[in-house]
Chains A and B, each alone.
Chain A
Amino acid sequence: KAGVTQTPRYLIKTRGQQVTLSCSPISGHRSVSWYQQTPGQGLQFLFEYFSETQRNKGNFPGRFSGRQFSNSRSEMNVSTLELGDSALYLCASSLEAWSEQYFGPGTRLTVT
């Protein structure tokens, strides 16, 4: 069974731009969660989607948004990028919400 895939793996953007990251979960998994990892703050929960609905959201500004499609693939979008948005963005899929998480390799975003 293929694992969780994320595209792109690396991305460089300029302040003020927007970015869209993509996540394809393991086949059959209906829940996708997104996380941000930085050296200063560590891992932080962004949001969780289940059957195309955002059910939970972490403490991030509205510039961070996402969606999930009917095939469970998910995208997250960050608008008006700031330098502090530079991070490793990880998605994880699970069979059910909050069950064992299977992580993708992450997208490393650098904002200059």
Chain B
Amino acid sequence: KNEVEQSPQNLTAQEGEFITINCSYSVGISALHWLQQHPGGGIVSLFMLSSGKKKHGRLIATINIQEKHSSLHITASHPRDSAVYICAASTGNQFYFGTGTSLTVIP
């Protein structure tokens, strides 16, 4: 049983499309993190949120604490958005990771 589930596992989109990646978790969290990993391994933290919604440029992250669900949206997707997106739940003494969503944006 995975504490954090992501969907879809793989996603291919045309440049300009609106993209949504979903994350469900089963543990009590102190925060929910969205991470981006490019080929080669480097990981960047995109968002850390415990309620509501956050926006950074074309990226938006939302969380529904009651439903234990978070979404990452990418508006006007671009080929440089191609990466693996990972959802992670921190509980205050553990970090649980989803298996990642591999996104490919085609020009």
Contacts and interface: CB of A to CB of B under 8 A. Distances in A.
A48 B99 CA distance: 21
B93 interface: yes
Given A42-B99, A45-B94, A56-B93, A98 B41 contact: no
Contacts of B33: 100-101
Interface string B76-100: 0000000000101010111111111
Nearest to B2: A42
Contact of B100 (A42, A98, A101, A105): A42
B41 A42 contact: no
Given A98-B30, A98-B90, A45 B45 contact: no
Interface string B16-51: 000000000000001101010000011111001000
Interface string A10-42: 000000000000000000000001010100001
Contacts of B88: 43
Chain B interface category by residue count: 20 to 34
B45 A100 contact: yes
Contacts of A42: 86, 97-100
A48 B44 CA distance: 18
B31 A45 contact: no
Contacts of B43: 90, 92, 103
A44 interface: yes
A63 interface: no
Q: Ordered nearest first, which 4 A-B pairs have the shortest CB separation?
A: A45-B95, A43-B97, A103-B43, A56-B93
Interface of B: 30-31, 33, 35, 41-45, 48, 86, 88, 90, 92-100
Interface of A: 33, 35, 37, 42-45, 48, 55-56, 58, 88, 90, 92, 98-103, 105-106, 108
26 contacts: A35-B95, A37-B41, A42-B99, A43-B97, A48-B95, A55-B93, A56-B93, A88-B41, A90-B41, A98-B30, A98-B92, A99-B48, A100-B33, A100-B45, A101-B33, A101-B35, A101-B45, A101-B48, A103-B35, A103-B42, A103-B43, A103-B45, A105-B41, A106-B41, A106-B42, A108-B41
